[in-house]
Structure 1
Amino acid sequence: MLVVCIMTGVQLVERRYTIRETWLQSLPKDVVIRFVVGTATITKEDHRLLEKENAQHGDLMFLPDLHDSYGSLTEKLLHMFKWLDKHANFQYVLKADDDTFIRLDALMRELKTKPRKKFYWGFFDGRAHVHRAGKWSEPEFLLCDRYLPYALGGGYVVSSDLVHFVAMNAPVLKRYHAEDVSLGTWLAAIDVKREHDPRFDTEYKSRGCRNVYLVTHKQTMQDMRSKYQQLKATGKMCAKEEQYRLSYVYNWEKLPTECCERTEGVP
């Protein structure tokens, strides 16, 4: 039903093992995990180590035509979608980073109630100004002075038909620096069911720890181990619930610049 694709790097072995030893321990039977790695320019020794790791765990996705780097994340997403469209039989894909903690049991219960087609689920932003300088600069984003509504990249779900659309149109899609911005832009012209969910804690830094969260980004390896141990011991993810910043419910009836008012009472 679900393929979880975790963007990772060749050398980030410890992060992968931390994920395997924490939130992947109770893997639902209808979920497949793939750690996604570009292997185009890696050394023979790195390739040997990755092959050894994959022989042990069987959960790596090799992208042999991709040079893996921070600057190639959008290209990596496209290669990943093309691989899935060609090789996998699935209903949804959850894209995550290797510093993301996911409550797969709760997320799967939710997914069984969601639309099967044209579905795009995550924490959306519609008012973000286009970065013109710095690490996240987008000098070629000329459509508007703000990004089109997109689900933040720490974790989002798309249905298989949208994966197919992106994979088939990859040759003509404009690549932007940020893969989440790119996906939101590519899907802007499609009749898509966008579902904003505050339980996806995927902003530039975590909003804290709430037991209702399905996806929590910006986690250290120690954070992941602590959350997993709490879940095992108490059935709750947080030793103490904390909210560092207010969240919002996206208002789709307003213009994107007015979409996202942070208010009390939203997870």
Structure 2
Amino acid sequence: MLAMKKLFSPLVLLPFVLLAFIYFFVFPNDFRLQSSLATCAGTPATSTTTASGTARAAAEVRVLLGVLTRADTYERRALLRLAYALQPAPTRAVVDVRFVVCNLAKEEDAALVALEIAAYGDVVVLNCTENMDNGKTHTYFSTVPRMFAGEQYDYVGKTDDDTYYRLAAVADTLRDMPRRDLYYGFLNPCHTKPELQYMSGMGYIVSWDVAAWIAAAGELRNDTNGPEDKVFGRWLRWGGKGRNVYGAEPRMYDYLDAAAGQKPTCFRHALAADTVAVHKLKDRLSWARTLKFFNATEELKPFVPHHVHNIY
């Protein structure tokens, strides 16, 4: 009996040891430890990052697309992983999708996000307090050049978790664009002077050198309050960066919910075949209709109900 107790006692303790390991590495607000877990080296990753080493080396364009989200939006991340995994792989290009959150302040998020990192390797934990218009965008763009220094990306993008990008379209659009001083996205507001426009929060992409400049420009750390995308445009004007401006409209646009009485505008219209990105997918129905339009669900087999008879 004593021998049996000695045999099984380590097995009983194993779950607690694993939980302690996860909690130790993710919960502390230490940037180095968190970011080391967030990189894709040695971990599974989303299908957008499964290109072989040879394919990555032969890629004509490499894009890092960061989806700024919150730690507790587990369902949205699960949906986006499926949506991107089922897209056709970009031709001669790499588009890596990463989910970007701030410090994991809640115990449950520390443990559960750790499981996502272990399973998918696609969550980046920044050293910041979760926010929308108080510096998260700056933290992201200033962190990327250090965190992914060895990946040789050409472009860095920022988007939200209510936006659906068509990754092959992104790659094809950027393939022949400048590799320096690029500022690409949906110009906002519509019908205004170019010097007052900035790229909308649905998503924008800059060349790697612009992100490196943001990381090095110490003055920007004191200019982070306000609508994040408007502030970002102000940085570029102040620093004389992002001078190669490319507006992606009408291929980037807000989702049009005709059933809710919405009408087309300069920034919103019906789904279109040549789409780069659709924004404001706020609920499951809008996501379902969008994914169906782009044939993401065409392989779904017809449902055949199976009746279970009452055996009692």
Task: Tell whether the structures are fold-level matches, with TM greater than 0.5.
Answer: yes
Q: 1:7 is aligned with what amino acid?
A: L
**Match for residue 203 of structure 2 among 152, 155, 170:** 155
Using the TM superposition, give the Cα deviation of residue 21 of structure 1 relative to its aligned residue in structure 2, in angstroms.
Answer: 1.1
SS at match of 2:162: coil
* Rg comparison, structure with higher value: 2
Any gaps of 5 or more consecutive residues in structure 2? 1-61, 256-264, 299-312
Q: 1:31 is aligned with what amino acid?
A: V
Partner Cα separation in structure 1 for residue 166 and residue 208 of structure 2: 21
8 Å contact kept, 1:3–1:34: yes
The equivalent of 1:122 in structure 2 is 185
Establish whether residue 193 from structure 1 lines up as the match of residue 244 from structure 2.
yes
The equivalent of 1:34 in structure 2 is 98
After superposition, the C-alpha distances for 1:66-97 in whole angstroms (9 at most, x for unaligned) are 1103343xx11111112211021311112110
RMSD, matched Cα = 2.6
8 Å contact kept, 1:128–1:147: no
TM-score when scaled to structure 1? 0.72
Partner Cα separation in structure 1 for residue 67 and residue 296 of structure 2: 26
Partner Cα separation in structure 2 for residue 48 and residue 128 of structure 1: 47
User: For residues 95 and 202 of structure 1, do their structure 2 counterparts lie closer, same or farther at Cα, with a shift above 3 Å needed?
Assistant: farther
Partner Cα separation in structure 2 for residue 164 and residue 227 of structure 1: 35
Partner Cα separation in structure 1 for residue 254 and residue 204 of structure 2: 9
Partner Cα separation in structure 2 for residue 111 and residue 217 of structure 1: 19
Partner Cα separation in structure 2 for residue 168 and residue 158 of structure 1: 15
SS at match of 2:295: helix
Partner Cα separation in structure 1 for residue 190 and residue 273 of structure 2: 28
Using the TM superposition, give the Cα deviation of residue 106 of structure 1 relative to its aligned residue in structure 2, in angstroms.
Answer: 1.4
TM-score when scaled to structure 2? 0.63
The residue correspondences of 1:250-261 to structure 2 (distance < 5 A) are none
User: For residues 106 and 172 of structure 1, do their structure 2 counterparts lie closer, same or farther at Cα, with a shift above 3 Å needed?
Assistant: closer
Partner Cα separation in structure 2 for residue 76 and residue 155 of structure 1: 15
The residue correspondences of 1:57-72 to structure 2 (distance < 5 A) are 57-63=120-126, 65-72=127-134
8 Å contact kept, 1:18–1:224: no
User: For residues 46 and 187 of structure 1, do their structure 2 counterparts lie closer, same or farther at Cα, with a shift above 3 Å needed?
Assistant: same
Q: 2:246 is aligned with what amino acid?
A: E
- State the identity %: 26
Establish whether residue 109 from structure 1 lines up as the match of residue 172 from structure 2.
yes
Using the TM superposition, give the Cα deviation of residue 126 of structure 1 relative to its aligned residue in structure 2, in angstroms.
Answer: 5.6
Q: 1:49 is aligned with what amino acid?
A: L
Q: 2:285 is aligned with what amino acid?
A: Q
Q: 1:157 is aligned with what amino acid?
A: I
- Number of residues of Structure 1 aligned to a counterpart in Structure 2: 215
SS at match of 1:121: strand
Using the TM superposition, give the Cα deviation of residue 196 of structure 1 relative to its aligned residue in structure 2, in angstroms.
Answer: 1.2
User: RCO (CA 8 Å, sep 6+): is it higher in 1 or 2?
Assistant: 1
Establish whether residue 183 from structure 1 lines up as the match of residue 232 from structure 2.
yes
Judge which range, 19-28 or 112-121, deviates more: 19-28
Using the TM superposition, give the Cα deviation of residue 171 of structure 1 relative to its aligned residue in structure 2, in angstroms.
Answer: 4.3
Partner Cα separation in structure 2 for residue 76 and residue 128 of structure 1: 28
8 Å contact kept, 2:180–2:207: yes
Partner Cα separation in structure 2 for residue 55 and residue 170 of structure 1: 34
The equivalent of 2:78 in structure 1 is 17
After superposition, the C-alpha distances for 1:202-234 in whole angstroms (9 at most, x for unaligned) are 599743322222111101333223322332379
After superposition, the C-alpha distances for 1:27-84 in whole angstroms (9 at most, x for unaligned) are 54612111000015x1222111100111111100001x21103343xx1111111221
Partner Cα separation in structure 2 for residue 6 and residue 112 of structure 1: 21
Partner Cα separation in structure 1 for residue 202 and residue 216 of structure 2: 24
Using the TM superposition, give the Cα deviation of residue 181 of structure 1 relative to its aligned residue in structure 2, in angstroms.
Answer: 0.3
**Match for residue 208 of structure 1 among 270, 279, 289:** 270
User: For residues 197 and 79 of structure 1, do their structure 2 counterparts lie closer, same or farther at Cα, with a shift above 3 Å needed?
Assistant: same
